[in-house]
Amino acid sequence: MKITDIKTYLMQVGPRPGMPAGEGSFRGSRNWLFVKIETDEGVYGIGECSGWPRVIERAVQDVTSILIGEDPSNIDRLWHRVYAALMGHGMTGTVGGGTLTGIEMALWDIKGKVLGQPVWNLLGGKFRDTVPVYGHAKTPERARELMDRGYSAIKVGFTGGVDIDLVSSIRDTVGPNVDLMVDAHGPSWMTATDAILVGRELEKLDLLFYEDPVAPENLDALQRVRDAVDVPLAAGERVSTIWGIRPYIERDLVDVIQPDTGRAGGITQMRKMAAMAESHYITMAPHSGSLGPVAEFAALHVLATIPNALMLERIEFDWSGRYEVVSPALKSENGALKVPDAPGLGVELVEEEIEKYPSDRNVTDMPTNENAYEPGTVGECVYFQTRLRRRARLRLTQTDQN
């Protein structure tokens, strides 16, 4: 069997006629990129590339020439061939990670289909038949809706600053038996000092984890937070490959690693990350904040096969079109997703639906979000800020946030 072609399917995720305002928009910037690797025996595999899909599409097209004519069963060797080719352009970041991921995911899909086995069975079998998921809430009412749908884990996300009173209100709403998480990612990012002040306020709210309290480039700042706050920490969604996640694990900076299933480097890289984390008693909860439905299937195969799986992030109600561009569609039950049993990844693209949403743009102008910045500074577009008037800014009221 030989690879004959690699096709890309880039689509815009955003509002359609009749949609509620803001549904799936991500400020109009969200794209999904799927790939299909075809072979001379008619078997094909699909994958998903995340990180910067419009740019990654060109990267996939660029490396296609070195994969044509190769045996798709040699997954690790082909991964290293592409990795070595990408390294000629510098250190592998988001674009390289997303390229490697989509291609390697599709190769695993091919192997599973050829052997008639789900990918999880090729990875050594599974620990679990279902994977717990968590949802997102920005209001107590939304948290209650998720609980009514069977979710027992909820994350409250912020950009720029953390509303302690809102988190406290949601904790009061969900009670002590629901796991609660806080995502503090910027920009504008908090300084280490402010992240510590927030973390100490969060200690009393019994969090499962406190995510991305400081900018990802500043691991020394993350160490400061780690040393000063008695709350489990989570990070890692922006890094690719085992070399990117390595310092988080070897320095014991976090309790939970969060590689993105669309840009971490592939299924094998995710498994290697999990093994590295396991040796430090660290769990894995993959990021899924901007991913499409194919990478979600891949995440289930990975999480089914590792002992230190915590849960999977789920953006289940972001855009109704996610259930139309692939088949079958995943549906959570009692706060969990069933691990697929079909050969390969167990999912197929619905190409005619994808074609309805041509890509328009894929960048987010973060400075338009005034709530992410100190009052009057949004136009400065700074990457991090000290929170002024700390008592007021670090304990915003719900009225201020809205």
The CA distance from 247 to 245, in Å, is 6
Stretch(es) of the chain classified as CATH 3.30.390.10: 3-117
Closest alpha carbon to 288 in 130, 377, 155, 168: 155
Task: Indicate which residue of 80, 89, 136, 185 is catalytic.
Answer: 185
pLDDT digits (tens, 9 = 90+) for 300-333: 999 999 999 999 999 877 787 888 999 999 999 9
How confident is the model at residue 393, as a pLDDT? 58
- Contact by Cβ (8 Å): 97, 237: no
* CATH topology classification for 3-117: Enolase-like; domain 1 (3.30.390)
pLDDT digits (tens, 9 = 90+) for 335-380: 999 999 999 999 999 999 999 999 998 887 766 678 889 889 999 9
Name the DSSP letter for residue 305: H
The CA distance from 304 to 194, in Å, is 37
Q: Is the pTM of this model over 0.85?
A: yes
The CA distance from 99 to 8, in Å, is 11
Cis peptide before 187 (omega within 30 of 0): yes
Q: Above 70 in pLDDT, residue 17?
A: no
The CA distance from 119 to 315, in Å, is 23
Could you count the other beta carbons within 10 Å of the beta carbon of residue 367?
16
How confident is the model at residue 160, as a pLDDT? 84
Q: Above 50 in pLDDT, residue 400?
A: no
Scanning the structure block, which residue is given the tokens 């209001």? 139
How confident is the model at residue 401, as a pLDDT? 43
pLDDT digits (tens, 9 = 90+) for 119-153: 999 999 999 999 999 999 999 999 999 999 999 99
How confident is the model at residue 186, as a pLDDT? 87
Domain 121-346 grouped into CATH 3.20.20.120: yes
- Contact by Cβ (8 Å): 173, 139: no
Task: Indicate which residue of 80, 280, 287, 301 is catalytic.
Answer: 287
Stretch(es) of the chain classified as CATH 3.20.20.120: 121-346
Please tell me which residue, 400 or 174, carries the higher pLDDT value. Answer: 174
pLDDT digits (tens, 9 = 90+) for 196-206: 999 999 999 99
pLDDT band, residue 402 (cuts 50/70/90)? very low
| 136 noted as active-site residue | no
The CA distance from 314 to 134, in Å, is 6
